[in-house]
Amino acid sequence: MAVVNPRQVRDFARGIGRDEKTDPIDARVLVRFGGVVQPAPQPPKSEEQIKIEALVVRRRQILGLINQEKKRLKQTRDKDIRKSIAAILNPLEKQLEMLDNKLQKAIVANETNTRKIEILSSVKGVGPVTVSTIIAELPELGTLNRKEVAKLVGVAPINKDSGKMTGKRKTSGGRSGIRRTLYMAALVATRHNPKIKAFYQRLLANGKLKKVALTAAMRKLLTILNTLIRTDQVWIDRCASEAT
């Protein structure tokens, strides 16, 4: 079967004049959508992949709770409130550590994606959290071209042109979970991955805003990962190899 963005299907329904929404109408719209768009079918997820996905989602939830409590901690000076927040933060941080350990073990035990994990892990800036998130939420990596995968994740600049007017390109949509994880990976890569670092600094030198340059670095990193998976190659640090 093919899994598609529900917003895309709803927009399609409105485009063909079907503003009503019932189960029978939705079924007919889905049939028409499938016939017109012809989304690519996806293989069913393995038990290992389902487990990793559940751990990734729970980790994201716990991390969100930790960030919320840390913001509250910064906003108060009351000792009792700070003590209350600390009492919540401590077990949450232990939960996060436990989930990270489980994710690491799940990745090692994942025989279905052994080669893909090896390739992803070879790239500087890509850690266990990024690897597990990609395995769980971006199984299409390596099967799409660079434009398709960038649009799927939501890091592709979308044209907003009309007539002689050229609108400002912006990224939108895509898979938010992957995008947030890729953001952190790109942030690390701009410091420790020679290729991404040089690319990022070149954009800044050309006057690009940091936010724009970092989004471009995310897209560059995603393109590299996609190419490596598609061509079945591990990352080679050319700077390190030249030094040796």
Residue 113: what pLDDT? 86
Residue 244: what pLDDT? 37
140 plus 223 within the same structural domain: yes
143 plus 219 within the same structural domain: yes
The answer to whether residue 127 sits within a structural domain is: no
154 plus 218 within the same structural domain: yes
8 Å CB contact between 39 and 115: no
The answer to whether residue 244 sits within a structural domain is: no
* Enclosing domain of residue 213: 132-160+169-238
Residue 167: what pLDDT? 54
| Averaged pLDDT in 10-residue chunks for the chain of 244 residues | 85 90 92 90 81 92 95 94 95 95 87 89 92 89 90 78 59 79 94 94 93 93 95 78 42
For the chain, the straight-line distance linking the first and the last C-alpha, in angstroms and rounded, comes to 49
11 plus 87 within the same structural domain: no
155 plus 226 within the same structural domain: yes
108 plus 69 within the same structural domain: yes
27 plus 107 within the same structural domain: no
Residue 8: what pLDDT? 87
The answer to whether residue 233 sits within a structural domain is: yes
The answer to whether residue 117 sits within a structural domain is: no
- Look at the chain and report how many structural domains it folds into: 3
pTM value is: 0.77
Place of tokens 């790239």: 123
The answer to whether residue 121 sits within a structural domain is: no
Residue 242: what pLDDT? 44
143 plus 214 within the same structural domain: yes
The answer to whether residue 74 sits within a structural domain is: yes
What's the per-residue H, E or C state across 100-139? HHHHHHHHHHCCCCHHHHHHHHCCCCCCHHHHHHHHHHCC
53 plus 146 within the same structural domain: no
The answer to whether residue 119 sits within a structural domain is: no
Instruction: Give the number of other CB atoms < 10 A from CB of residue 240.
Output: 10
154 plus 95 within the same structural domain: no
